[in-house]
Chain A
Amino acid sequence: DAKTTQPPSMDCAEGRAANLPCNHSTISGNEYVYWYRQIHSQGPQYIIHGLKNNETNEMASLIITEDRKSSTLILPHATLRDTAVYYCIVREYTLGQNFVFGPGTRLSVLP
């Protein structure tokens, strides 16, 4: 019962912005959108999260549509070290609830 849909893979040129889409058309009002990434053989790394408004931190920006049915993670200047699998996750703001990781998007940053 996947709550999100992501493309299985994407390519991006080094130095360019990487825009990773996520569809979450069944999101409910109390569910947040989280993004994680996993670099080969490492543990998942938290990137960013949001509820309604767009968010930005030192790693990325998160753009959430007004109807909240989709979002885009933006890496403004992708580097080779950003090559990873990126996971979009929807979950409630509830301590103790697990994160359900789907297959994600495999981003390849090309030189």
Chain B
Amino acid sequence: DAGITQSPRHKVTETGTPVTLRCHQTENHRYMYWYRQDPGHGLRLIHYSYGVKDTDKGEVSDGYSVSRSKTEDFLLTLESATSSQTSVYFCAISESGQRPYEQYFGPGTRLTVT
């Protein structure tokens, strides 16, 4: 398995509080992604990063921000959490090179906003 860890693995927070989720990789892959998974929606891309300090929006980026100050870390921040952001969040990585860029996923963070 790719060396991807996510922290925390579970979090319960109150509406209106800020929350930061961390993704850490030991594979030195260039690209990192944040997805959310909700029943009936499959996985949806929130943001992704194509290098240190280089990020872009995905399909469902409203209410989320990201930062990548080091190759190995990609942070997802909910500035003011809402109940609609209750979800399971997955981080993924992909490498540059000759292989067609399959993504490898972390174990997920289950976030509950009350």
Residues in chain A within 8 A of chain B (CB atoms): 32, 34, 41-46, 49, 87, 93-104
Contact = CB atoms under 8 A, between A and B. Distances in A.
Interface string B87-114: 0101010101000111111111000000
Q: What's the interface size class on B, roughly?
A: 20 to 34
A46 B101 contact: no
A102 B42 CA distance: 5
| Residue of B58, B59, B100 with most partner-chain A CB within 10 A | B100
B108 A41 contact: yes
Nearest to B97: A95
A40 to B, nearest CB: 11
A32 B50 contact: no
B48 interface: yes
A96 B50 contact: yes
Interface of A is mostly: loop
A104 B4 CA distance: 24
B108 A98 contact: no
B59 to A, nearest CB: 7
Contact of A46 (B33, B43, B44, B103): B103
Nearest to B33: A98
A93 B94 CA distance: 12
Given A44-B90, A103-B42, A32 B100 contact: yes
